[in-house]
Amino acid sequence: MVRQVENALHALLHVSVRSIVLKLASASRPAPCGEPSFVANAAIEALIRRSGIPFAIVRPTMYLDNLLKPSARAEIAERGVFSPPIASNQRIAWTSTDDCALATILLLEQDLYGGDHLVSGPESVTGDELAARLSAGLGKPITYHAEPLDVFERDVDAAMGPGMGAAYRIQVPLLPRAPGRCQPDTRHGAGAGSAARLHTHQHRSVGAAEMPAFPMRARSSPS
């Protein structure tokens, strides 16, 4: 991944790209973290900073779009179960790829560079709370089940190749996770009923003059 970014930066510098918005996984980073995905993120961020190209960073929490994957849709439709490899008590301020894209466009259009921004949904909910809202929206009971890690890894390996499951499991707040290991930062919401907002990584909401509210949504998908 780092080599790919080096190649991309070389191409961007060659054509004199004016600015960059870098999307990274959201994570609390009070100290350097040894998790491989976070090490790679730090290396990529360092490359961008050294490039001299004006840039901003966006760090979305987790995407509601994950519910539109064929496997997730089938589970929800056929079994009435949503089963990501995430503890049911883990609070997540779900966002969407559309909202992350809108945040990126706004940063580029307004030349807001140098910031490190968390893109989060309007409210932080547990797995059971999310299932209750899915139930209300779909008009049928949906339950939440934390998928075992070995099942998650096996499914990812089958879809993406051997070893990819182990690589992906460290990027999300899975259960169990050893004490002291780095945690993705998924809990930031602006409160019930408000719209999704862009936050600095220090969790200060960007001012209204700089950043309009984004409605949180998942993109529709053909049935």
For 70, list phi and psi in degrees, rounded to 5: -50, -40
How far apart are the C-alpha atoms of 133 and 136, rounded to whole Å?
5
Residue 27 lies in a domain: no
| Per-residue pLDDT at 168 | 64
Residue 125 lies in a domain: yes
Q: 19: helix, coil or strand?
A: coil
How far apart are the C-alpha atoms of 148 and 175, rounded to whole Å?
8
Residue 12 lies in a domain: no
Query: Is 58 within 8 Å of 214 (Cβ atoms)?
Result: no
| Per-residue pLDDT at 213 | 33
Residue 58 clears pLDDT 60, i.e. is over it: yes
* Alpha carbon separation from 180 to 11, 29, 32, 166, 214 (Å, rounded): 39, 12, 12, 19, 33
Residue 52 lies in a domain: no
Helix (H) or strand (E) holding 60: strand 55-60
How far apart are the C-alpha atoms of 77 and 138, rounded to whole Å?
9
Average pLDDT, the chain: 75
Residue 132 lies in a domain: yes
For 145, list phi and psi in degrees, rounded to 5: -140, 125
Q: Tell me: the pLDDT tens digits for 135-177?
A: 999 999 999 998 887 787 787 778 777 777 666 655 554 444 4
Structural domain total, the chain: 1
Against a cut of 0.85, is the pTM above it? no
At 116, which CATH number? 3.40.50.720
- Cβ of 103: how many Cβ atoms within 10 Å? 26
What b-and-e string marks burial along 65-96, b requiring 16 or more CB atoms within 10 Å of the CB? bbbbeeebeebbeeeeebbbbbebebbbbbbb
Which residues constitute the domain of residue 156? 58-200
Query: Is 171 within 8 Å of 82 (Cβ atoms)?
Result: no
Residue 105 lies in a domain: yes
Residue 106 lies in a domain: yes
Residue 176 lies in a domain: yes
